């Protein structure tokens, strides 16, 4: 089903959004690797695979596979059909099992897509990476390839499920930039060390920042979104409350 969807969607989305793909040559032909991308909308998981010459297996939250009812069964069928890997983010043994499945896929030579920020950005800005991307790469012994996705936030604006084809009266142009692989071997044999994981995760976001031209907000996107939901405030206001001394 993955290849069928790619065959249908690639020419369609390129025509509608003038999808520009850069850097596909940085993806190894037969080696396992992590594609680490900024995350601004659901359509990120459409445009990135279209830019990659090989199938991308994304880590998808387990809710997509466990939702009850007809909608849940359809979601599970779709995400399973396109090769998504369920990940449990509740912590403990379940999260460890999810990580083990992703490590196995990488060791088999697959491309695994991951969003280092851990959730969609509430406002299209970059936020601090969780250490999961580093832990996964170090356990599997694979490189991390930074990816920038630009324009997706206009296709599907933060907090909205609606898709758009124009922004401010102009056609939307989407660009996917695949950067040079990050060699993770300097961090080898340190996968259980939090400091090594933190350094590598920060390096990944720095590379994504360079590709996007966007500054990294020194906070977790998940914390910003939780405060926005609980207090019914904007992302800017949530950032001011969490980091009162920070100047964007």
Going from N- to C-terminal start, the domains of the chain cover 2-217, 218-248
Looking at residue 191, its pLDDT comes to 63
Looking at residue 6, its pLDDT comes to 80
Q: Which of 128, 171, 120, 182 is nearest to 149 (CA)?
A: 120
Mean pLDDT on 35-60: 90
Question: Which of 8-12, 59-63, 230-234 has the highest mean predicted lDDT (pLDDT)?
Answer: 230-234
Distance of CA 38 to the CA centre of its chain: 5
With a pLDDT cut of 70, the percent of the chain lying above it is 91
* Residue range 2-217 in CATH 3.40.1130.10: yes
DSSP string, 6-17: HHHHHHHHHHHH
CA torsion through residues 100, 63, 93, 201, sign: positive
pLDDT for 235 beyond 70: yes
Which pTM value belongs to this model?
Answer: 0.88
Nearest-angstrom CA–CA distance, 87 and 106: 15
pLDDT for 92 beyond 60: no
The DSSP secondary-structure symbol of 26 reads G
Are the beta carbons of 4 and 159 closer than 8 angstroms? no
> Which tokens sit at 56?
């991308």
Looking at residue 91, its pLDDT comes to 55
Are the beta carbons of 219 and 242 closer than 8 angstroms? yes
pLDDT tens, residue by residue, 168-223: 999 999 999 999 999 999 998 776 788 999 999 999 999 999 999 999 999 999 99
């Amino acid at each position: 089903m993955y290849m069928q969807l790619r065959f249908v969607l690639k020419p369609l989305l390129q025509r509608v959004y003038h999808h520009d793909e850069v850097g596909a040559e940085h993806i190894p032909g037969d080696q396992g690797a992590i594609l680490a991308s900024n995350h601004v909308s659901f359509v990120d998981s459409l445009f990135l695979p279209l830019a990659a010459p090989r199938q991308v297996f994304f880590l998808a939250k387990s809710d997509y596979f466990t939702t009850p009812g007809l909608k849940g069964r359809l979601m599970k069928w779709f995400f399973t059909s396109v090769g998504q890997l369920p990940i449990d983010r509740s912590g403990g043994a379940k999260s460890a099992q999810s990580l083990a499945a992703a490590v196995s896929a990488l060791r088999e030579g697959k491309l695994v897509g991951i969003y280092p920020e851990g959730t969609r950005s509430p406002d299209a800005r970059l936020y601090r990476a969780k250490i999961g991307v580093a832990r996964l790469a170090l356990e599997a012994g694979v490189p991390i390839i930074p990816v920038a996705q630009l324009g997706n936030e206009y296709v599907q604006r933060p907090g909205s499920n609606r898709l758009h084809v124009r922004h401010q009266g102009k056609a939307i142009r989407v660009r996917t930039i695949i950067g040079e692989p990050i060699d993770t071997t300097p961090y080898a044999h340190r996968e259980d060390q939090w400091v090594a994981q933190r350094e590598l995760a920060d390096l990944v976001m720095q590379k994504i920042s360079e590709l996007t031209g966007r500054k990294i907000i020194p906070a977790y996107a998940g914390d910003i979104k939780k405060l926005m939901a609980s207090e019914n405030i904007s992302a800017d206001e949530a950032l001011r409350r969490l980091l009162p001394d920070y100047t964007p």
